[in-house]
Structures are given as C-alpha cells and as structure tokens.
Structure 1
C-alpha cells in the first residue's frame, strides 16, 4: 500500500509534456485526425454523399480518424498527469504500449488514407482532397513518432512494440479489412458462408484476447496456465479456421456468380491472413524472432 501511495504521489500535472517532441507529434496526430474525421460534413459532392454510408467510409471514419486519435488523446492525457508512472509500475509496460499503439496507428492511418483516396477522390472533389491530405499527414505524424521512439529514444519494447505483438496487431488489422468488405458482398444465403463468418470472427477474438493479456503484465502473471503455450494452440486453431474459410469462401462466392469487387477483397485478405497465421505458427513453433511456444 505504501508503494502505491508513493507512486501515485509522483503523478503530477506536467504541461511541459505537450511541448516535448512526442507531445507535439501527439497534438498533430489528434488535430490531423480530427480534421479528416470532420471533413465530410462540408462536402456538397453528390458522389461522396451517396457513398458515405458504405462500410469503406465507416471504416475510414471509425478506425483511422476516430480510434487512432482518440487513443492518442488518452495516452497524451495520461502522460500529461504522469499517470503512466503507476500504470507502468503496477499494471503494464507503458513505453511498450505507447510505442506499439503508434506502430499500429501508423499502419491503420496510412492504409485508411490510401483507401479513402482510392474510393472518394475525384478531379472536382476539393473537400475529399483536403481530407486525403490531412489523412496522409496524420499517418506521417504517427510514422515519425515510431521512428523517434525506435531510433532516437531506442525503445525496445516487451510485446506490442516488438515483432510478436506487432504481428498479432497486423493479423487483427487484416481481419478488420475482411469485416469491412463482408457487408458489401451481399451473399450470405448459404450456411457454409455463415460458417466462414464464424471462422473470421473466432481468430479475431483470440488475437484481441492475446494482445490484452500480454499488455496487462499483472494479469499475465496471474494466469494458472502458460500463456505462450495457449497462444500456440490458438494459432493452430486459427490456421485451421482460415484454411476452411479460404477454401469454402472461394468456392461458394465465385462458382456461378459475378466476381464482385468486395468478394474479391475478402478472398485476397483471407489468404493474406492465412499466410500471416501460418508464419506466426511456424515462428512460434521454432522460437524465431522472439516468438515463444512456452
């Protein structure tokens, strides 16, 4: 109890955090993301408005320009009042979490910027170009933060900011791409394809659970079983599920049906995630690059 009180006593409001290099980058990320998020409200372009309800647009708004800046805002507030000190001591590896989230946000914001530019920009869409520019600036700001942490600060990380954790984040990210395209396939009239949906959801939930437990070091230490061994078992299940989905989805969506773009997107990213899970499983099996079997 005394140690907790002493650690909380160290927490204090420190405005100087905002004028540090990371603080300035955080402000830029939040501002650029907010501008991109709110930019659609001023659009008078009928093409944009008519397509704004598509899952691509929803994904861009919620994942790239809401989730990432919102997490950055929370991180900034926590570091502003020095609550990262007790969190780092009693709950989690805070530097690893902050750098890992910056790496994940870089991947999300840059991919969202490319996606948005591909679907929603045109020669006369001035507002869309403004959103695209700020979306790319947001991604670049996150990239600079990662380079600052990794090169200038030489932060090594314990999970999220190193390859095993980032790889799990990449698998979750690809799953999100699949979920984004699925509603537009308009082809769930067969029981086998419903099973494909289950095959996509379960690995995603497994990965989220693995990431959360690894971030919360106290929770990880209190588990009654070896987490690395459980991860290895989960990966085997994920590979089996994705093999099933890759085969069944390809057969039932392209057999006698038009090759709609969204169905093709789901198929491509299904195979991408299958490759990611197989590599993850092999690396874990042989203990390569920090992957542990337990």
Structure 2
C-alpha cells in the first residue's frame, strides 16, 4: 500500500502548469470547439425548450462534447495525463478517439437541428445552424490534424476496432431518439428490447479497453466475450431488421404530404434504416473479429 502511495505522489509531482498548451494548434481548436458549443447551446436554450427527443439529443451533444474537451484541455494544461499512465490509459488514443466521437455527435446534431428547425425566414435558426456546423468542423479538423499532421496511431478508441464500437453505439443512440409510435404494440416493444440489450455492453467494452489495467483484471477472457456478444447482437438485429418494418409499415403507407421535419412516417423510416446500418456494422465487426482483420482480435 505504501509503495502504491509513493508512486501516486511521484507521478503527481510531475504535473506542471503549461499554459503554452492553450496556444498550440490543438489548444486553439479546443477553445473554438468550446466557444462554438457554448454559443449554440445558449442560443438554443434561450429561444425555447422542448421535450422533442431530437432537440434533447442536440442539447446534450452541445453540453457533453465541450465538457469533455474542457476536461481534456485542463488535464493537458497541467500535464495531469502523466498520472493517468498508472491506469494504463493511452492518453493520445483517448483524446483522438474523443475528437472522432465528438465529430460524429456534433455534425449529426447540426444536421438534425437544420432539418427540424431551419426555415427561410428564421434568422436565429440560421445563426444556430451555422455555429452548430462550425462546431462539428472544428472537431473534424482536430481529427484530421491528429491523424494526418501528427500521424497519431490509435491503440483502441482512435483505431478501427474501438471506433467501430463507437459507431455502433452512435447508431443505437440515433435509433433511440427516433423511436415513436410503439405504445400498445408488443411487436415493436420486442424490437426495442433488441435495441436496448447490446447498448450498455458496447459502452462497457469501450471503457474496459480504454482502461487496460481493468481489462487485465477481468475474471474472463474479454475477446471471447466480445465475440459471443457480437453473435448475439447480429441475431437480435436480424430479428429487428425483419420485424420492425413489418410492424411499423404494414397498413401504414407513406403519406402524400410527408416533410422530413414533421412526418412521423419519415421518423419511423429512420429507425428502420438505422437498424439495417447497425446490422451491417455488427456483422462486419463479427467477421473482422472472427478472422482477426485490421487489429480486431478474439481469444
């Protein structure tokens, strides 16, 4: 116990305040990301509030992404990423992976916001949409800077295996916020169960692989667990990809007037389409894992 405390003290003493990190390229991008996110969040919150799931997702994105970016900025400014090595976390992989994740979230939020709230005469909606896309572009530029200019090699989260899991979780979130019209329909409720079951396990797999020391302490072989999980997920999504359109669109043709911003049928189509997208993602993940392609491993 004493040696562990000594190690903690020694690593903490290495933390040094380095304000110059704020004027680096990444530091500047982080500041822009935070500013754009805060501006769009405040503008949207002041205009109106809504219980609409797409609006909640967009607001969550513009709160979550800059919060993570701020934490990363503070950690790097004080070099607190040094103590994180005690947990076997690849800090460079984590930061690039979070930038990639934030790019997905902010760009999708910008597209969703523009689809539902943008109109020709809506000045504030145009302003909010502009800041939303600027935020997404700022995160995308950070990813390109890390991957192309800095040539950072991801170990998990910023590499193909980890980011593939992130995309699976991201598509699941789009499905969740698009679910509608399932009340009183047991068939659709069964489909929702198929969506829900894999989601927390994906998050657990991501966290365990980020914290390598935690992975080494698991009482089971994680690679075999992931492989089994992918088989079950593919089966669940095959069922849902078949059953969901049957229960949703049988006797429910597309209306003659169906604008994307206010048509329930169009939102239900998003669920069916994203179900197929996730089925493809899980299936490719399973095949890659089976053959150990591109760094995907199984035990």
Spell out the pairing of 1:1-294 with structure 2 (5 A cutoff).
1=4, 2-43=6-47, 49=48, 52-63=50-61, 65-182=62-179, 185-259=180-254, 260-294=265-299
Distance 1:248 1:266, change over 3 A: same
Matches of 2:221 and 2:191, distance apart in 1: 30
Shift of 1:236: 0.4
Unpaired runs of 5+ residues, structure 2, are 255-264
Contact kept, 8 Å, 2:32 with 2:135, in 1: the verdict is yes
**Matched residues in 1 for 2:130 and 2:10: separation?**
46
Q: When the two structures are aligned, how many residues end up with a matched partner?
A: 285
**SS of residue in 1 equivalent to 2:197:** helix
Runs of 4+ more than 4 Å apart: none
Q: CA deviation at 1:6?
A: 1.6
The CA distance in 2 between the partners of 1:174 and 1:160, in whole Å, is 17
| Structure 1 length-normalised TM | 0.93
How far the C-alpha of 1:91 sits from its partner, in A, is 4.0
Cα distance change on mapping 1:129 and 1:120 into 2, 3 Å: same
Over residues 108-145 of structure 1, what are the superposed CA-to-partner deviations in whole Å (9 max), with x where a residue is unaligned? 11121122112111111111111111111111111111
Q: Quick one: distance in 2 between partners of 1:202 and 1:155?
A: 34
Of 146-155 and 205-214, deviating more is 146-155
- 81-90 or 133-142, which moves further after superposition? 81-90
Q: Distance in 2 between matches of 1:130 and 1:89?
A: 44
Q: Unpaired runs of 5+ in structure 1?
A: 44-48
Shift of 1:258: 4.6
Does the CA-based 8 Å contact 1:42-1:127 persist in structure 2?
A: no
**What TM-score do you get using the length of structure 2 for normalisation?**
0.91
